[in-house]
Structure 1
Amino acid sequence: MREGGITSRIADPYAEALMSLAKDQNLTDQFGEDASGLLNLLQESEDLRQFLASPVVNTDAKKTALHQILGDQVHPLIKNFLDLLVDHRRIIFLEDICRKYLVLLRELKQAVLAEVTSVVELTDKQKQAIRERVKQVTGAHEVDLETRLDPSLLGGVLIQVGSQVYDLSLRGQLRRLSLQLNTFA
């Protein structure tokens, strides 16, 4: 894993340049969708991450592979951006650049990211209720949800928005009850 400070110093300017281009072309949302898609692709394929990070794979092979994998799924300017990252040997930072771009996009749209952990997959109605509640609490105009499953919660949800955590899980309720009982013992 790379050190956060060094990664930020390299990834942030690229993400900011991508945002500047997106604003100029009125493509901020399109680039956001492409960045999310690239993140999902990288998270699902360890082989692709290793291939792109490998110093022994030449730049043409990396570009060709990216173009074949992505096809017409991303905007042509994103393809050009990926080629630039390969040429400058910065493709290893693609995941960090995409994450930073999404942070910049949320700031632009006055949105927040809510990371929601639950025992079972949430329904669309539950997701919408969480979005509305997070909007009320944070004053954000939009809420992006990132969901994950954790059977150890026993029930309920755990919601994290920035550094704030809302523990609405059964495990959390039991822990709080246990702490209250211990104060009486």
Structure 2
Amino acid sequence: MTGNIVARRYAKALFSLGQKKGPAELAAYGSDLAKLAEVLAAEPTVLKVFRNPTFGSDKIKAVAVAIMAKLGVGQVVKNFVMLLADKERLANLPEIQTVYAKLQDEAQGVLRGKLTTAIALDKNRQEQLKASLEKKSDRKLVLDYGVDPAIIGGLVLKIGDQVLDASLRAQLQMLKENIKRGE
């Protein structure tokens, strides 16, 4: 819980700075954070180093500087990471990146979700569904596509904590419940 609060505070601070500088900087900060979070996800030992209190601040900063140099991270994000290192919050970087990405999506009016179907859809059909959903929601959608044969037919759309289950499995389940109740 504490990590989540910390992540929100730092992400909001960087996001606020990015908004003042403009949309290009806002996107650049998000991209830099995403690259850093990707490295930490791929190399969990680096995250363990950041969490380990026996390593000194200088060693942790040296590791962070080396990673950022390889990734070509911008100066503002470098300064931000050094601030996190000074405050011993560098281990919160993946959560900070997640919160920052959500803030960025909200500012741009983007909804992220997952569309699951019983069979794989070709690219043309995926684009048609996406365009139809964007038109109905008046928002830009970024969808991950999945296949789950257990839904039998139809689709399941999950955006945030909302789920639209228009699958044949769900309809059969409702029919089963109605028969049990005698309706």
Normalising TM by the smaller chain, what interval?
A: 0.7 to 0.9
- State the aligned residue count: 180
Distance in 1, matches of 2:122 and 2:169, equals: 21
Q: Is the 8 A contact 2:112 2:142 kept in 1?
A: yes
Aligned-residue RMSD, C-alpha: 3.1
1:131-142 pair list within 5 angstroms: 131-140=130-139, 142=140
Distance in 2, matches of 1:148 and 1:56, equals: 43
Match of 2:8 in 1: 12
Q: CA deviation at 1:131?
A: 3.3
Distance in 1, matches of 2:52 and 2:119, equals: 37
Distance in 1, matches of 2:80 and 2:40, equals: 16
Offset from partner CA, 1:48-96 (integer Å, 9 cap, x none): 3222222222222222223333424432321221111111111122122
Gap change, CA 1:72 and 1:133, over 3 Å in 2 = same
Distance in 2, matches of 1:161 and 1:136, equals: 15
Gap change, CA 1:129 and 1:86, over 3 Å in 2 = farther
Match of 2:27 in 1: 29
With structure 2 as the length reference, what TM-score do the two structures score? Answer: 0.75
Distance in 2, matches of 1:184 and 1:133, equals: 37
Gap change, CA 1:106 and 1:184, over 3 Å in 2 = same
1:60-139 pair list within 5 angstroms: 60-70=58-68, 71-117=70-116, 124-139=123-138
With structure 1 as the length reference, what TM-score do the two structures score? Answer: 0.75
Q: CA deviation at 1:169?
A: 4.8
Q: Which runs of 5+ in 1 are unaligned?
A: none
Distance in 2, matches of 1:59 and 1:122, equals: 50
Q: Which runs of 5+ in 2 are unaligned?
A: none
Distance in 2, matches of 1:107 and 1:29, equals: 13
Residue type at the aligned position of 2:132: R
Q: CA deviation at 1:38?
A: 3.1
Q: Is the 8 A contact 2:35 2:71 kept in 1?
A: no
